[in-house]
Structure 1
C-alpha cells in the first residue's frame, strides 16, 4: 500500500503539471494570434501598395536638386495630374520620375536657351538646375497628344524626357502616380 501511495502525484506536482499545460496552451494561442496579425498586416500592406501608394527608390541625376539618387519617395496612385507635379511612370521596365509640364492638348515650346512656355506662357522654373533645349529630336512648338503628358526632368542637360522621341509623352497606361512625399533620407523627410 505504501508503494501505491508513492505512485500517485502530489498536489504540488499536479499544480506544476497543470501550470505547464496552461503555459503550452497560452503559448500556442499567442503564437497563433501573432501569426494572424502578421498575415493581416502583410495583406493590408500589399493591398495599400497595390491600390493607393507605391514606394520608389530614386536612381539617376535627371531630377536633381529636387530628388537625388538613393532617396526613397512615395507615389500616390492617381490618374490626373497638374503641371508642375512630379509623376512616376513605367518606361522600358524601369520606373522614371519627371515633372509634368504639359497636359493633353497643350502647346509646348522650348527656346534655344531652354526657357519653356506652355500655351504661350513662359514657365517660372525655379526648381531647374540648368535650362537646356538638348537633348531633343522633336520640333517645337509641339502639341501634347490626347491622353498623354509632356514631362521634363529638373536637371535638363542630364534628363532624357519628352523632348526625345525615345521617351516621348507619357501615356495613361504608363502612369504609376503622383510623387508626393520623400521618406528617406530622414533629414529631408517631407512632402514634395
Structure 2
C-alpha cells in the first residue's frame, strides 16, 4: 500500500466537509423558499390587479385641478358609479380618467355657459377648473343610453369626453373602475 492510501482524514477534515455539505443544503433550502415566496407574491399581485384594483399613471390636462399629469392613482375594479365619481376606462388602447355625471337613462343638459344639469337638477361642480360647452357635436338635452355612462373632464375646454361622439358615452366593456386612492406624489397621498 502506498503512503497516500494510508492517510485517513482527520476529525477536523471531517468537520469541515460536513460543514460544507450542510452549508450547501442550507443554501438550496433558502433559494427554494425564496423562489416559492417570489412566485407566490407575483401570482397574488397579478390576481389582485386583474380582479380588484389597478394602478394608473395620469397623463394629460383634462382632469386638472383634480388630477395632474404624472400622478399615480389606484382604481377599484367595479361597474357601478355615482355622479361625481372618477372613472378610469379604456379608449383606443389608452386609459382615460373622467368624472361620471350621468348614468343609464339620465337626461344631461349643458347650457351655453357650460353649466351641467342632470335630470333637470343643476350640478354644483366646485371641482371644475373652467366650464365649457365645447367641444361638442351632440345635441342637448341628451339621454344616456342603456349600459353606458356620461363622463366629462374637470378641465372642460381641454377635455375630449362624452360631449363628443368621438369618445361618446362609456360602455361597461370599457370600464376599469373607480379612482379611489392617490399614491403619488407623496404630499397628496391618500383617498380621493
Q: Same fold (TM over 0.5)?
A: yes
CA distance in 2, matches of 1:186, 1:34: 31
CA distance in 1, matches of 2:58, 2:5: 76
Query: Per-residue CA shift, 1:48-100, capped at 9, x if unaligned?
Result: 00000111110000000111101111100001111100000010111100000
CA distance in 1, matches of 2:137, 2:20: 77
CA distance in 2, matches of 1:57, 1:24: 45
1:173 is matched with which residue? 173
Compute the displacement of 1:146 (Å).
0.5
Within 5 A, what are the aligned runs for 1:1-192? 3=3, 7-192=7-192
CA distance in 1, matches of 2:190, 2:4: 76
CA distance in 1, matches of 2:6, 2:95: 76
**Structure 1: any 5+ residue segments left out of the alignment?**
none
Count of residues paired in the alignment: 192
Compute the displacement of 1:7 (Å).
1.6
Compute the displacement of 1:27 (Å).
0.4
CA distance in 2, matches of 1:85, 1:142: 20
**Structure 2: any 5+ residue segments left out of the alignment?**
none
Compute the displacement of 1:3 (Å).
3.4
Compute the displacement of 1:6 (Å).
5.9
The alignment yields a C-alpha RMSD, in angstroms, of 1.3
TM-score normalised by structure 2 residue count: 0.97
